[in-house]
Amino acid sequence: MRIEVAGENALIIYFGEKTDPRVSAQVQQAVTILETELSGMLIDMVPSYASLLVIYDQLATDHLEVRSRIRKVLDQLSDATSNSEGKLVTLPAYYSTESGPDLAALAERAQMSIDEVIQLHSETEYRVYAIGFAPGFAYLGEVDERIAAPRLSTPRMKVPRGAIAIADQQTAVYPAVSPGGWNLIGLCPTRMFDPLAEPTMPVQVGDRIKFNPISQSEFISLGGELGEIR
């Protein structure tokens, strides 16, 4: 683990060099402890796959004190194997060629039936490794390698809110209408970001995610919309 300067009032902690559940658990454990350890001087923390950005209040502390407190926390983590797990969140998923225009091509590429692809995707428990690109866009891993697929060679101009997608061994739910180059396999009616809700996102880094297959009628009844894809 190492600590580097990331700005005049920010430090970044690197926990490892690659995506790994153990490293992700350490990041989340550090977030929990530092919220207390840096109370009164903390502005924000931004966790990612294997790093944590710590932004502090220069009027309340300085670089040396923050680094010293962070090092104290890291020393505690290095002596323990973290078994911390975030909460389990189940997301409804309407899988179909109607809601997932890349589902058939992905199944053909994997030499599987569409039902087998759906089964593999929905049976896997994913971990939230990072939230980025857009508010509520949670990067989830790891997708079963048999249905992992590269990004599209030409990104779409418009991906609907709620689109469930795969890129390499990651999967995600698009929180809003946006361009995108991931493979679309279904739709989720759950809002991944709502600025008027508390909390604003149903998941956070470290949480575990499962997808529960639902029918089109269930999708509609849960508030889902069959948005335009182009």
Contact between residue 44 and residue 28 where contact means Cβ atoms under 8 Å apart:
no
Domains by residue range for the chain, with CATH: 2-78 (3.30.1360.40), 88-221 (2.40.100.10)
Give the pLDDT score at 22.
78
pLDDT at residue 99 is higher than 80: yes
pLDDT at residue 228 is higher than 80: no
pLDDT at residue 11 is higher than 90: yes
Give the pLDDT score at 191.
95
DSSP-derived letter for residue 122 is H
Q: Among candidates 153, 146, 147, which has minimal Cα distance to 164?
A: 147
Contact between residue 31 and residue 52 where contact means Cβ atoms under 8 Å apart:
yes
Give the pLDDT score at 81.
43
Give the pLDDT score at 84.
56
Give the pLDDT score at 85.
66
pLDDT at residue 79 is higher than 50: no
Q: Is cis: bond before 199, omega within 30 of 0?
A: yes
Q: What is the pLDDT of residues 164-216, one digit of tens each?
A: 999 999 999 999 999 999 999 999 999 999 998 888 999 988 899 999 999 99
